[in-house]
Amino acid sequence: MLAVGGEPGRAFEVSPWEHTFSALPLLRAERWQEGIAVLEDGLRDNPKNPSLLYNLACAEAQAGRVVEALTHLQEAVRRDPAYRENARKDKDFDPIRREPDFPA
């Protein structure tokens, strides 16, 4: 196996992007729980990653997991305020947009 960009003597670490990439086909197929599980795995490895938090919130909103979606979206916005503007336009959040704690 060829690994580009690795550090000699250090084990390969899966990037947060790879978890999102793996979850996308599941989310596009509206297999919300499976996609959420993949994103949660990524979040365990990268608990502060705003992109994973945001994408997890999108999936949770679509799955009807309102409290979890709001919690993860708020954390994503706290870690990277640019996600506030993204959330304003993202149709994935339509199911929770009218919630009082929606951060956008």
Q: Residue 85: how many CA atoms within 13 Å on its side-chain side?
A: 3
pLDDT along the chain (104 residues), means of 10: 60 76 96 97 94 97 98 98 97 96 89
CATH architecture of the domain with residue range 29-93? Alpha Horseshoe (1.25)
Where exactly are the structural domains of the chain? 29-93
The length of the chain, given as a count of residues:
104
pLDDT score for 3: 53
Burial (CB count <10 Å: 0-12, 13-18, 19+), residue 35: buried
> pTM of the entire structure?
0.87
- Read off the amino acid at residue 51: S
Helix H segments across the chain? 16-28, 32-45, 50-63, 66-79, 82-89
